[in-house]
Amino acid sequence: MRKILVIDDEKDFGFFVEQNLELTGAYNVILASSAKEGIKAAIRQKPDLILLDVVMPEMSGFEVLKTLKETRATTSIPVIMLTAVDTDEAKETALSFYNEDYIVKPVAISELKAKIDAVLSRKY
């Protein structure tokens, strides 16, 4: 069972991602509804992969990504940006922090799962 951490302030979206992924039976999904909560969860829970939103109150997804990559405990955890922001600039910024992939919402669960599996298989 892969442990997936979803950091998104949109709780309803996080809920459906959790439900849809767990339905497959291959993933254990942890939800974090704020950036700080997400970073804490990432350090404590040590997930296999993180799905990270960009637009969040208090702290943007890029800052979270930067923190995670700079934190020793989380630096090696692959991060896939999962956001409604669909601009070249955002994609370039994410890439500069060594994220693994960039998925624009809305995304079909099959596509999401395929991308998660691709990242995980690349890592292991």
Partner 1 sequence: MKVQTKLLILIIFCTTSFIGLAVLYKGMEKSRLDSLFKAEESASAVAFEKAIYLLGRSLEIYTSDRSYLGEIARFLETGDKDWAKMNIDGSLAIHKVNSIWVYKKDGSLLYSANDMGEDCLTDSPVDRRVLEDLFADSRSCRFFTETRCGPMELRGTAIDAASDPEGKRQPSGYLLAGRLWDKGYLADISSITGAKVSVELIGRVPSDGRSTGEKGGLIYYARSMNDWKNRPVFQLTIVRKPESIGIFNRASNQTMIVMVLYSILLFVVLWVSLTNWIYIPLKRISKAVLDKRPIEDKILLRRNDEFGDMTSIMNKFYEHRERLVSEVVAHRSAESALRLSEEKFAKAFRANPNPMAIFMRADGKFLDANDAFTGLTGYTRKQVLGSQLDKLNILSPESRAIVMGALEDKGMIRDAELDITTASGEKRSWIFSASAIDIGEDKIILAVANDITERKMAEKNLYDAQNQLVQAEKLAALGRFASGLAHEIKNPLAILLGGIEYLRDKLTSTEPEVREAIVKMREAIMRANIVVKDLLAFARPSKLIYEKVHPNALIHDAIGFVELFRHKSDTADIDIRQEPTEEEVYVEVDKNQIQQVLFNILLNAIEAVPMSGEIVIKAYSIDGSCAIEVRDTGHGIAKEDLPKLFEPFFTTKRDKKGTGLGLSIVKSIIERHRGKISVESELGKGTKVTITLPSVVAGPQKEAWR
Chain residues in the site for partner 1 (CB under 8 A): 10, 12-13, 15-17, 19-20, 23, 55, 84-88, 104-109
Rounded CA-CA distance 4/46 in Å is 9
Nearer to partner 1, 51 or 74 (CB): 51
Nearer to partner 1, 31 or 74 (CB): 31
In the numeric block, which tokens belong to residue 57? 């109150």
- Residue 108: how many CA atoms within 13 Å on its side-chain side? 3
Min dist CB 1 to partner 1, Å, is 18
Min dist CB 70 to partner 1, Å, is 27
User: What is the DSSP code (8-state) at residue 52?
Assistant: E
| SS3 label, residue 117 | helix
Distance of CA 1 to the CA centre of its chain: 17
Min dist CB 90 to partner 1, Å, is 9
Nearer to partner 1, 26 or 109 (CB): 109
